[in-house]
Copies of this chain bind each other. A is one copy, B any other.
Amino acid sequence: MVDAAFVSELRERYGIEFKNLRLLDEAFTHSSYANEHPELDLRDNERLEFLGDAVLELTVSEFLYKRYPDWPEGELTRLRAASVCTRSFSLFSREAHFDKYIRLGKGEEQSGARKRHTLQEDTFEAFNGALYLDQGKDAVVKFLQQVVFPKIAAGEFSAASDHKTFLQEYLQKDGPVDIRYDVLDEEGPAHERQFAVAVVVDGQRLAKGEGRSKKMAEQDAAKKALASLKAKAH
């Protein structure tokens, strides 16, 4: 059975109480543990992981769809891909202490599997699959509102490098345009150089950006250009 301390922790931190504790057990049973204890006739968490993966895909998609009503599909897809991935799920898993409670076989334990990000990700998916089966989608959403959505909304998973792409897509909606980034200025010593860059679209300067590298200044310019274009469109 899953650790009693974990059952309390779920209740106290997230207000979650499983009706069917066997689902919670299953979610925290790694195949290596099930294989090592054939006498217990345990199910490992892989089927729940299969389901949980899809549960997370939908709940995160719906969150993004509703939170960003003006974003085009391309931006939604990019942020979904950055939010629904090994890096983020393993992080959530550790924050919720799931890595502490997953039951591993001895060999896996010794090989350091508990610290493996893919294993932590799998546990996070399996937990959400179990919660979905036990209590439905709304319970999953309530849990994600505590551990996932605030981080997405805070921009933790938006790659900064996306502004140039966003600007390009925005401008090219109605056909090809010429987008150019011109370096306006470059000053300071090598270790603290500052760049100033202008983004020029079809010969017209849209915005200026600054940064500690040419790339960062370009991103800054693209971000400002997008903001001003969107402000004008409204």
Contacts and interface: CB of A to CB of B under 8 A. Distances in A.
A194 interface: no
What is the interface of chain A mostly: helix, strand, loop, or mixed? helix
A54 B58 contact: yes
Given A54-B57, A54-B61, 11 more contacts: A47-B73, A50-B65, A50-B76, A50-B80, A51-B65, A54-B54, A54-B58, A54-B62, A55-B58, A57-B57, A137-B137
Q: How large is the interface on A (under 10, 10 to 19, 20 to 34, 35 or more residues)?
A: 20 to 34
B73 A50 contact: yes
Contacts of A76: 47, 50
Given A35-B174, A51-B65, A65-B51, A46 B58 contact: no
A57 B80 CA distance: 14
B47 A72 contact: yes
Nearest to A76: B50
B58 A62 contact: no
Nearest to A38: B174
Contacts of A174: 35
Contact of A46 (B46, B53, B61, B72): B72
Contacts of A25: none
